Amino acid sequence: MVGPGGGIEGQTGLPGLRGVDHIGFTVPDLEQARAFLVDVLGCEYMYSLGPFQDDGAWMQTQLNVHPRAVMQRLHFFRCGSAAIFEVFQYAAPAQSALQPRNSDVGGHHVALYVEDLDVAIEHLQTHGVAVLGNPVASRGPSAGQRWIYFLAPWGMQFELVSYPGGKAFDHAPPETTQSADRAMSDHPARAL
């Protein structure tokens, strides 16, 4: 039954949501990104599109970029069994080359699940990838998970995560997980 807001009565959230389709990001050098994603991370190159530009307002209206921006080319990559990366290279007036930190508004990272974190870290280091710090063992509801951040050649933040035995919240009754969430809320850094 359709409710007053036009959605299905009793349903919350986005109607019909099935999952994440792809993750898009912009890089300064598409061929550098292709080499990193394929040769280092092991993603599969799928296909390319572009260039795209418009003399009107389409680029700004549809993509929220400068109206004179030129999307020079984009590549699609499959990474693992599900992740699809849509990787853009733009030329645009007043284009910023600064990568946001996680603490910046719009800050982000892409987390990749690996079976063996230590082997994956060694692989990255063998390829000269900047790995940040040491592996961290999560606590609280995420206990059982280990993670570490690393940087793409253009500075974008990625993360490796691994929890082969599951996370604590996978094994705890819901009320236990909610209690742990409340207990950790006073110390957000500890919730990692």
Among residues 174, 151, 161, 42, which one has the least CA distance to residue 102?
151
* pTM summary value: 0.83
Among residues 158, 108, 104, 103, which one has the least CA distance to residue 129?
158
Q: What CATH number was assigned to the domain covering residues 99-184?
A: 3.10.180.10
Per-residue pLDDT of the chain (192 residues; tens, 9 = 90+): 555 555 567 778 999 999 899 999 999 999 999 999 999 999 999 999 999 999 999 999 999 999 999 999 999 999 988 789 999 999 999 999 999 998 999 999 999 999 999 999 999 999 999 999 999 999 999 999 999 999 999 999 999 999 998 888 888 666 654 544 444 443 334 445
Coil vs helix vs strand at 89: strand
What type of residue sits at position 139? R
- Per the structure block, which two tokens stand in for 156? 């974008």
What type of residue sits at position 80? G
**N-term to C-term CA, the chain:** 41
Any idea what DSSP says for residue 64? Answer: S
d(CA 26, CA 44): 18
Top CATH class, 20-91: alpha beta
Among residues 66, 85, 89, which one has the least CA distance to residue 77?
85
Among residues 31, 68, 70, 67, which one has the least CA distance to residue 52?
70
> What are the residue ranges spanned by the domains of the chain?
20-91, 99-184
The reply to whether 20-91 and 99-184 are identical in fold is yes
